[in-house]
Amino acid sequence: MSAIYKNFINGKWVDSVSGKTFENRNPANKDEIVGIFQKSNTEDVNRAVEAAKNSADMWRKYPAPKRAEILYRVAEMLIKKKEDFACDMTREMGKVLKETRGDVQEAIDMTYYVAGEGRRLFGDTTPSELPNKFCMSVRIPVGIVAAITPWNFPMAIPSWKIAPALVTGNTVIFKPASDTPLSAVNFVKLFEDAGLPKGVLNMVTGTGTEAGEPLILHKDVKLVSFTGSSDVGRFVATDCAHKMKRCSLEMGGKNAIIVMDDANLDLAIEGAIWGGFGTAGQRCTAASRVVVHKAVAKDFISKFSERAKALRCGDGLLPTTDVGPIINESQLNKVHGYTKTGKGEGAKLLIGGDMCTDKGCEKGYFYKPTIFVDVDRNMRIAQEEIFGPTVSIITVGSFEEAIDVVNGIKYGLSSSIYTQDVNKAFVAMRDIYAGITYINSSTIGAEVHLPFGGVNQTGNGHREGGTTALDIFTEWKTLYIDYSGRLQKAQSIE
Ligand code: UN1
């Protein structure tokens, strides 16, 4: 019998109103049911929003350092549960154990980091232009926040949204991806155990259409914080525009690593392997393009493909596995569809390009690490986000051309350059148009205390992580205190 997990609404674990549930299966082994979860719909969402609404006033007035104490307790409990939660995460979404440990660690880091803000949340004080008058700015919560998160970072990304939303005094409705509800339950349970007052954090599980959509559309939700596909992001932005609501969107990427002729090639290869095939390429920061200088292209391609060929697909719980499964069947078909597209466009398939049927992979959604060469910068495989273990190699003749190729996409999340030339590194830092640029390191590895997000169609101008996350979850309020005892007018009006 599989365990049944519930929604968390108003401090209680409850069944969906309809009584319907769904199965969560292990993508490395379709026969294994990870758990049974509530299939929520509009009615569940309405109850969760109602709970968030009813607790909003209390939580807004709860001293921020005290809100932070709850977060510290959550972080401490997370440390103790790290291994269990990492195993659960690997079972429900497949990435290898060392990566799911990293995912939980990222949630620990974020929760601690943001808890520190409970005793800061700085605003400004500044002199008034008038005598006997005091001016300052303070942050106030936006109100009721919908946190809608993807399956590829099942605990890290929820922590990027929930922790800053709570410390700044918002109440939250959390709708995790339907592929990773167990990690969401694990995370939310800790807030209950840490003593978070009822209604402050609520969780409904279910599909995007049945549970996500009514949450996005709900009139009382003041802010939608969404990470996921561009299509859904566009839907969120459009609806929020009509209702004049705030939304923070974190969507696709088509990130590139530049390998210059003076690069430390071994280092670049290691970075390209990690960037291209870590999490089976299912990261918005994945290095799905490598832009290599023609002088080193042959050498790079032969060593890189050699390394990639040696990567072993399999169950992420096994220490012998390098690359876990693709999240589900439809995503597997999408990845394979791009292989066909690449071939059709005239790119040369160097390795992979098919499902992996090695021993131990029979029951899962495994795809072989795939490399295309002779890729033209404008091909679809060089332009569109695949979200799988597929790397397109584009050969260029100069540094300027490399920068141009990197920038020649509709996204702009992460980027990287391998070079030993400090001048080129600085030009790249200035001229690559992206939210993140790494020098002599891969496209992945964001740290929680720095802004995370992208330009162009990757996002809508917000940054998670860092103190910039506070700007998503708060409004600025300006306060003027006149202690002159008379009417004083600004702008020298007599
Ligand atoms: C994502 O791919 O959705 O830097 C986020 C990284 C991770 C976060 C990635 N810490 O790749």
Average pLDDT over residues 371-379: 98
Q: What distance in angstroms lies between residue 153's CA and the mean position of ligand 1's atoms?
A: 7
Regarding the beta carbon of 444 and ligand 1, being less than 6 Å apart is answered: yes
Q: Tens digit of pLDDT for each residue in 242-278?
A: 999 999 999 999 999 999 999 999 999 999 999 999 9
Q: Which of 99, 284, 285 to mutate to test the pocket of ligand 1 (most atoms within 8 A of CB)?
A: 285
- CA–centroid distance, residue 115 to ligand 1 (Å): 21
Q: 182 C-alpha vs ligand 1 centroid, how far in Å?
A: 20
Residue 24 in contact with residue 5, Cβ under 8 Å? no
Q: What sign does the dihedral 366-340-395-252 (CA atoms) show?
A: negative
Tell me, in angstroms, the distance from the centre of ligand 1 to residue 422's CA.
26
Question: Which are the contacts of 486, defined by CB distance < 8 A and separation ≥ 6?
Answer: none
pTM of structure: 0.97
pLDDT at 399 over 90: yes
Opening angle at CA 374, ends 373 and 377, nearest 5: 105
pLDDT tens string 384-393: 999 999 999 9
Position 494 scores a pLDDT of 87
Paired strand residues for 141:
474
Active site positions, annotated: 250, 284
Give the helix/strand (H/E) hosting 223: strand 223-227
Residue 230's CB is within 10 A of a number of other CB atoms, namely 15
- Ranges of beta strands (E only) in 262-319 are 287-293
Task: Looking at the CA of residue 150, tell me the nearest atom of ligand 1.
Answer: 3
CATH 3.40.309.10 residue spans of the chain: 256-439
Q: Does residue 106 surpass a pLDDT of 90?
A: yes
Of the candidates 440, 439, 434, the one whose C-alpha atom is nearest the C-alpha of residue 452 is 434
Confidence band, pLDDT 50/70/90 cuts, at residue 1: confident
Q: Is 445 in the pocket of ligand 1 (CB under 6 A)?
A: yes
CATH architecture of the domain 7-251+459-479 equals 3-Layer(aba) Sandwich (3.40)
Residue 162 CA to residue 164 CA, distance in Å, equals 6
Q: Which CATH number fits domain 256-439: 3.20.20.140, 3.40.605.10, 3.40.50.150, 3.40.309.10?
A: 3.40.309.10
- Start and end residues for every CATH 3.40.605.10 domain found in the chain: 7-251+459-479
Range 457-468 average pLDDT: 97
Q: Which residues contact 198 (CB under 8 A, 6 or more apart)?
A: 10, 11, 12, 51, 55
> Does residue 115 have a pLDDT over 90?
yes
**Residue 350, helix vs strand vs coil:** strand
- Residue 254 vs residues 111, 403, 453, 455: alpha-carbon distances, Å: 29, 14, 13, 12
Residue 365 near residue 315, CB atoms below 8 Å: no
- Confidence class of residue 474 from pLDDT cuts 50, 70 and 90? very high
What does pLDDT average to over the chain? 98
Residue 6 structure tokens: 């519930």
pLDDT, residue 109, reads: 98
**Closest residue (by CA) to atom 8 of ligand 1?**
446
Nearest to 452 by CA among 412, 425, 417: 412
